[in-house]
A and B are shown apart, each in its own frame.
Chain A
Amino acid sequence: MERLQFSYPARQSVARRVHVGVVGSGDLEVLLEPSPDGQAHVSINTSVEGFAAVWRHVLDRFFGRFDGAAVIEINDSGATPGVVLLRLEQAVEALRE
C-alpha cells in the first residue's frame, strides 16, 4: 500500500463536498471538498505501489481542465488511469449538480 500527495495551483473556490466511487477491485473512491488554502491538494491511498509518475500524469491532465481549490482524497484499489480520470470527472460533475 502506498500513500502519495500532490498539490496544484487553483483559481476557483469549490462550493461543497462530493463523493463518488467504491474501493472495489480495479476501482476507487473520490472524496472532494473545499480547500482551506486556495490550492488544490490530492492525497492518494493506493493498493498498488510504484506508480507515482503515472498518478502525477493523470492528475496533470485532470488539473489541466479543473481549477478548483479542492482537497481530494483518493482511495484506490488498482484502477487504471482511465478509470481514475472517469471518477475524478464524475466528482466534478457532482459538484455542478
Chain B
Amino acid sequence: MSAPPRSSFIELSARERAAALLDAGSCRELLGPFARLKSPWLPLQGIVAQADDGVVLSRGCIGGESAVVAAIEGAYQGGSIGEVSGSKIAAALELALRDCERGRPVRPVLVLETGGVRLQEANLGLAAIAEIHAAIVALRRHVPVVGVVAGLVGCFGGMALAAALCSRLIVTRQARLGMNGPEVIEQEAGIAELDAMDGADVWGLMGGEQRYATGLADVLVEDDVEVIAAQVRDACSAAALPRTERVDEFRRRLAGIDPQRPPSPAALRALWARERQP
C-alpha cells in the first residue's frame, strides 16, 4: 500500500497555512478580509489594496493550548510589511503578551514569508517591525515564540531579525533567511560579490539547510503540512538559551574569522556545527 501523497506547505496560501497549524476545528480568523483593514497608502500610489493587507491572524489551539498564528501572504506585494500588515502582527503579539501577563498563556507562531519593509510605506513598515521586535522579546519571557520560514519568498529585511528573535525557528530547504535579499546585495555590492541569479550560491549562503547546519535555525523540515504542523506543536518546550542571548559565544566565533579570508559556506558548517539539543 503506497503512502498517501504529501501535501505541500509551501503551496498553501497564508490563510491555509494558518489553518493547517492550528488544531482541527479550532481555527478562527481575526480581522479577516471582511474587516477591510486595508492599506491607507497603496491606493494613493495606484496599487490595489488587498482586504487583509497580506497578513492572516488566526486564533485557536495548538496541541490543545491556546495559540495565535500570524501568517504573511508572500504572494501579495512580496509579503512586504506595511502599516496595517505590520500592525496586525504586532497587535497579535501584544495581545498574546497581555494574556500571558494575566496568567492565560497564548502560544504565538509566526509564518514568515516576506521581503521586509514595504517601500511604499517605508517608515510605517519599519516602525511596525520595531514594534514586532519589542513584542517578541517581551513575549519570550513567558512563552516560546515559534517562527516558520517555508519559502519560496523567504524571510528578509527587518523581519529576518524577527526570525532570529524567535525561540524556535523551523525552516525548509527551500527557505532563505537573510538580512539583505540577494538582489539588494548584488545591487549594492556588485555582481562579483553576489550573483542573485546563482541559486546554488544564494541557497549556499542563506538557504534553510545552510542556516540549519550552522545552528541559525533549529529544525529543518521537508515541505509537508503534517510534518511542519507537528514541529510547531512540539516547539512548546523550547528551553534552550535564545540565539540572540549567546552574545559572547558569537563574538568569539567572529573574532576567529579573518574578513580577508572568510570561510566558505561548507567550512562554516564545520566551524559553527550544531550542538546536540538536550
Contacts and interface: CB of A to CB of B under 8 A. Distances in A.
Contact between chain A and chain B defined by CB under 8 Å: yes
A17 B32 CA distance: 12
Interface string A54-97: 00000000000000000001011100000000000000000000
B75 interface: yes
Interface in B70-105: 73, 75-76
Contacts of A31: 33-34, 51
A33 B73 CA distance: 23
Nearest to B29: A19
Interface stretch (B40-48, B126-134, B210-218, B262-270): B40-48
B75 A19 contact: no
Chain B interface helix/strand/loop/mixed = loop
Contacts of B13: 22
A11 to B, nearest CB: 24
Interface residues of B, number: 14
B233 to A, nearest CB: 27
B49 interface: yes
A45 interface: yes
Contact of A22 (B34, B43, B50): B50
B269 to A, nearest CB: 35
Contact of B46 (A19, A33, A47, A73): A47
Interface in A22-62: 22-25, 27, 29, 31, 33, 45-47
B75 A29 contact: no
19 contacts: A1-B47, A1-B48, A17-B34, A19-B51, A22-B73, A22-B76, A23-B48, A29-B33, A29-B50, A29-B51, A31-B51, A33-B34, A45-B43, A45-B48, A45-B49, A73-B51, A75-B48, A75-B51, A76-B48
Interface of B: 13, 32-34, 43, 46-51, 73, 75-76
